[in-house]
Amino acid sequence: MNSIGKSIRMERIFDRNTGNAIIIPLDHGVGAGPIKGLENLQTTVDKVAKGGANAVLGHMGLAKHGHRGYGHDVGLLIHLSASTLLSADPNHKVLVTTPEEALKVGADGVSVHINIGAEDEFEMLQDLGKTARKCDEWGMPLLAMMYPRGPKISSEYDVEVVKHAARIGAELGADIIKTNYTGSPETFREVVAGCPVPVIIAGGPKVNSERELLEMIQGSLEAGAKGVAIGRNVFQAKDPVALVRRISKLVHGGLSVEKVLALEDAGERI
């Protein structure tokens, strides 16, 4: 197991001082096409990097077409799983890239998407286990997007299914778990307590306001989350640069939502 390789790459994803991470997923182009905010990958990467994101996450096209060669550096995670909204079963995720291929384009980590409770769950679990072994061999951090989605799941945000999904990811070898926020610090503490690797929250559907998003992030941090992986709520924001800066004040600065917004009202640069 190449532990030093993982340690070095993890430091490109998680801030060395706070131990937290702001990851911006930009993988939506495969599933949904060139949606608002992702028309030009280089432009979007530049905005979130200026805001202070630790890393961006996307498919191989992100490495090929999103690399800027200028500006503030930002970590890169290559997403290995894919499906499209045009499919008969969009929840059926298949592997389209390998950790070895991600290494060749300079990735700092890779990610896979697993839907716990789906009818083809067993196939995705096999993919997770096999990918985790390869990542151990190559010293590549593995982020597992663990979502409860299937016929038996009445709510994707129920703490019982979320904490089970998170634990599965860690048990099968993931180094970082991305999952749904359960709605309160009290319930999300159960998710964090039951998972032996860092847990970060997904951004979820488009929120009604930035305050709502910031309050969700604050609640997750209070519960012990180690950061966020938020996509469309960032890159479809009116000002993605400013929003990432606000998020950074929470994730890395330790400020409250009220303090962050008060600084903005006072005219301070955030």
Chain segment 26-77, per-residue pLDDT in tens: 999 999 999 999 999 999 999 999 999 999 999 999 999 999 888 889 999 9
Put residue 233 in one of left, alpha, beta given phi > 0 → left and psi -120 to 50 → alpha.
Answer: alpha
Record the tokens describing residue 121, joined without a space: 């769950």
Residue 64 DSSP SS3: helix
| pLDDT tens per residue, range 123-173 | 999 999 999 999 999 999 999 999 999 999 999 999 999 999 999 999 999
Q: Which of 6, 27, 136, 175 is catalytic?
A: 27
Q: 105-120 burial, b for 16+ CB within 10 Å, e for fewer?
A: eebbbbbbbbbbbbee
Inter-helix orientation angle 210-222/185-193, to 10°:
50
Q: So where are the chain's domains?
A: 3-265
pLDDT in tens, 205-222: 778 889 999 999 999 999
Can you say whether residue 224 is alpha, beta or left, with left for phi > 0 and alpha for psi between -120 and 50 degrees? left
| DSSP annotation of 206 | P
Helices within the chain (DSSP H only) = 3-10, 28-32, 41-51, 60-65, 99-104, 121-138, 159-171, 185-193, 210-222, 232-235, 240-251, 257-265
Across residues 221-225, what is the average pLDDT?
98
Mean predicted confidence (pLDDT) in 2-13? 93
pTM of the model: 0.95
pLDDT for the residue 69: 87
pLDDT of 135 reads 97
- Please pick, among 178, 181, 226, 249, the residue that the annotation labels catalytic: 178
177 closest CA partner among 160, 161, 196: 196
Select the more confidently predicted residue: 269 or 176. 176
For residues 155 and 248, give the distance between their C-alpha atoms in angstroms, rounded to a whole number.
Answer: 30
C-beta neighbour count of 233 within 10 angstroms:
23
Q: What is the reported pLDDT for 270?
A: 44
Q: What percent of the chain has pLDDT above 90? A: 90
Give Dmax (Cα) for the chain: 53
Residue 61's pLDDT is 95
| Distance of alpha carbon 148 from the chain centroid | 16
Residue 167 Cα distances to 67, 179, 230, 257, angstroms: 34, 11, 21, 29
Identity of the amino acid at 106:
G
| Alpha-carbon gap, residue 77 to 149, rounded angstroms | 24
Residue 96 in this model has a pLDDT that exceeds 80: yes
Catalytic member of 147, 163, 226, 249: 147
269 or 86, greater pLDDT: 86
Q: What is the mean pLDDT of the chain?
A: 95
pLDDT above 90 (res 267): no
Q: Does domain 3-265 have CATH number 1.20.120.420?
A: no
Q: 27 catalytic, yes or no?
A: yes
